[in-house]
Amino acid sequence: MAISTIYSHSELEARSRIIEAAREEVLNRGILGLRVANIARIAGCSITSMYRYFGSRDGVLAEVLLQLYEESFAEIYALVLERLGGTGPVVVDDIVACIPMPHSETSQKQHEIRSQVLAVAGTNPILRTKLSASMRARRAMLSTVLDELEHRLPAEVKLDRDIFTVLIFNVNFQYNDLMGDDAVTNEQYAALLRRLIIRE
Amino acid sequence: MAISTIYSHSELEARSRIIEAAREEVLNRGILGLRVANIARIAGCSITSMYRYFGSRDGVLAEVLLQLYEESFAEIYALVLERLGGTGPVVVDDIVACIPMPHSETSQKQHEIRSQVLAVAGTNPILRTKLSASMRARRAMLSTVLDELEHRLPAEVKLDRDIFTVLIFNVNFQYNDLMGDDAVTNEQYAALLRRLIIRE
């Protein structure tokens, strides 16, 4: 259901209170603990008005989970800006520095959030559509960045684009988080990437 | 909670009815639609007796989700047996034929199940422990298979083990399922694997 209504100030406030409440519930209890009645209670509104803003339970969830999903990439975007911003020359290590490593301070939580979003996308068609559009936009952005990098790398370096679009794009390090002592380390992953992302 | 009790025949039957009911609920409604009361109703038992067998809601879920997760790899194991069973010589294409491709008749459903399992593992410590043990066993099995293959491949072929343990092991093609026309094809993935899994 498209949200095409024009909202008043107080309606916009209620909408963002609902999103904030749903977000807290997902972060604190996970999607299995999520109850529409709890979200309404925390947001201080009725379930009816919640549905008026978001169409359905699936609509509320889709909105919040997509937001969390996109935020989980904020660290990556920040690195890209930091290491690859501007138009000057770059080296392979600048690119490796922008590829998400398996371990970081927030990585385990981020991996869990992404799995929860994917899990819900399987049964929530609204989220599925939104997530699909978001991922296609992310892939298009990756292509643009790779096009640009080709010109900024030393002339003899050619990127192996399939490594980015087929493998790195589809990696989910929540598997790795579950491996304990057998987990891949950042050093191991970075070394592998340095070897793979350029073609001879 | 360890299930160390010795069960009578009728108790074992009740246990498997509960698992079967939870399984149906997960497959039909997804984990978000899962309600302990529904599982008990379908299994024809009380919530109390359900908890007696499995310790808690987390315990029931952990049992069923781990089972679904392990079953989602049945196709892969069947291919491994078919293409790599025995002790005779093998070629690179035999190995590629055993690596899960992004698209198959059942792959989308399997990817969704795995995401649901991972999503729940984030907030269910019983599942997390079981899943972690299962994945470590799977990784150990992969290592054994790779050791053995080294001797069955032509002498000049050397496997690039990091490709298997770091990349293929951590790939989640549910991302790819969401990419529509932009999805990686089986042919594209197989070609990339043929190029990557052996070292020069």
Structure tokens at A64: 């919040």
| Closest in B123, B169, B174 to A30, CB measured | B123
pLDDT, one tens digit for every residue, chain B (200 residues): 445 467 788 888 999 999 999 999 999 988 888 889 999 999 999 999 999 999 999 999 999 999 999 999 998 999 999 999 999 999 999 999 999 999 999 999 999 999 999 999 999 999 999 999 999 999 999 999 999 999 999 999 999 999 999 999 999 999 999 999 999 999 999 999 999 999 87
Q: Is A19's pLDDT higher than 70?
A: yes
Q: Does A167 touch chain B (CB under 8 A)?
A: yes
Selected from 1.10.1060.10, 3.40.50.300, 3.40.50.620, 1.10.10.60, the CATH number assigned to the domain covering A9-55 reads: 1.10.10.60
In this prediction, residue A32 carries a pLDDT of 84
Distances (CA, A) of A106 to A101, A189, B163, B169: 11, 18, 25, 22
The token duo for A6 is 């024009």
pLDDT at A5 (0 to 100): 61
Which chain B positions have a beta carbon within 8 Å of A31's beta carbon? 31-32, 119
Q: Do B32 and A34 touch (CB under 8 A)?
A: yes
CB-CB under 8 Å, B123 with A33 = yes
Q: Which residues have C-beta within 8 Å of that of residue A113, sequence separation ≥ 6?
A: A26, A27, A68, A69, A72
Place of tokens 């007696």: B52
CB distance A180–B132 less than 8 Å?
Answer: yes
Residue B74, classified by CB atoms within 10 Å of its CB into exposed (0-12), middle (13-18) or buried (19+), is exposed
* CB-CB contact of B197 with B163 (8 Å): yes
The bridge status of strand B198-199 relative to strand B158-159 is antiparallel
B171 at the A interface (CB within 8 A)? yes
pLDDT-derived band at A114 (thresholds 50, 70, 90) equals very high
pLDDT for res B9:
85
Domain map (residue ranges) of chain A: 9-55, 68-199
Task: Evaluate whether A115 touches B115 at the Cβ level (below 8 Å).
Answer: yes
Contact with chain B for residue A162, Cβ under 8 A: yes
Please state the ipTM of this predicted complex: 0.90
Binding-face residues of B in 49-108 toward A, CB within 8 A: none
The predicted structure's pLDDT at residue B75: 86
Best of B27, B115, B168, B181 to mutate (most A CBs within 10 Å, chain A):
B115
Closest chain A residue to B186, measured at CA: A166
State which H helix or E strand residue B198 sits in.
strand B198-199
Which residue of chain A is at minimal alpha-carbon distance from B119?
A116
User: Burial, A110: exposed, middle or buried (Cβ in 10 Å; 0-12, 13-18, 19+)?
Assistant: buried
Facing A31 at nearest CB: one of B119, B167, B174: B119
Q: What is the pLDDT of residue A1?
A: 47
- Rounded to an integer, the average pLDDT of A48-61 is 93
